[in-house]
Amino acid sequence: MNARSDEQIAGMQAAGQAVRAAFEAMKAAAVNGISTLDLDRIGAGILAEYGAKSAPQLYYDFPGATCISVNHRAAHGIPGELIINDGDMVNIDVSANLNGYVADMGESFVVGDGSSDQSRICSAVQEAVYSAIEKVRPGRSLNVIGKAVQAVADREGYSIVKNLGSHGVGNSIHEEPSYIPYNNPRERRKLVKGMVLTIEPFFSTGVEWVHEEEDGWTLSVPPGNLVAQYEHTLIVTEKQALVVTA
């Protein structure tokens, strides 16, 4: 999507507010003993209050309103009877369509008292996203995002998952540009004013590829490895990126 008019920008901001509200309610409720299904119901309720429709359900018939992935599960976890415990790493990814505008965000965090390694990887991937956002300007290479993300991953000793990527968004949940946020010298595409896209890296402890589980949705790294994601939706503007999911 290319959002340049005031109406389009306001539409994206409203969609971003809806997914942010759903995420924050879910994160606050993510405590020891709650099931991922109950968390999903909370998010679905908030989206309904805003008049928004779950993007995974709308576009992919996903069996949940949101994606909730726990521990070694990196993405697209199906809400169900799984109970969250203190010390678990949880990723909540919320995307929704509100009046024809789609926003997408996600975050990995630790429930209760986790390990310093868990906290560190979550902080690192967040830092990478904000570092990349600062580099976004029209006319620059799309690879400024990858370079910024790669710099943090290299400094902190993490691998970037190469088969989970970032993407355009706005009119639908997945649009061009589709890209992996790592330093790719062959990247020739440019950032364009009004472009709506996500920045969505996945950091792991040495794993560059996730695998699909038997449920046909959940993407995981081998048990014992850590994996964390952070994601914002933003609009490329002349002076600085406008983050609609902040």
Is residue 153 domain-resident?
yes
CATH assignment of the domain containing 152:
3.90.230.10
Is residue 221 domain-resident?
yes
* Full DSSP string of 52-88: -EEHHHHHH--SSSSEEEETTEEE-PPPSSPBP-TT-
Amino acid at 167: H
Global pTM reads 0.97
Express each pLDDT in 89-144 by its tens digit: 999 999 999 999 999 999 999 999 999 999 999 999 999 999 999 999 999 999 99
Contacts of 48 (CB under 8 A, 6+ apart): none
Is residue 195 domain-resident?
yes
- What is the count of structural domains for the chain? 1
Is residue 155 domain-resident?
yes
Average pLDDT for 8-12: 98
Is residue 164 domain-resident?
yes
Is residue 1 domain-resident?
no
Is residue 26 domain-resident?
yes
Is residue 59 domain-resident?
yes
Q: Domain range holding 33? A: 6-243
Please give the Cα distance from 227 to 204 (Å, whole number): 4
> Is residue 239 pLDDT above 90, yes or no?
no
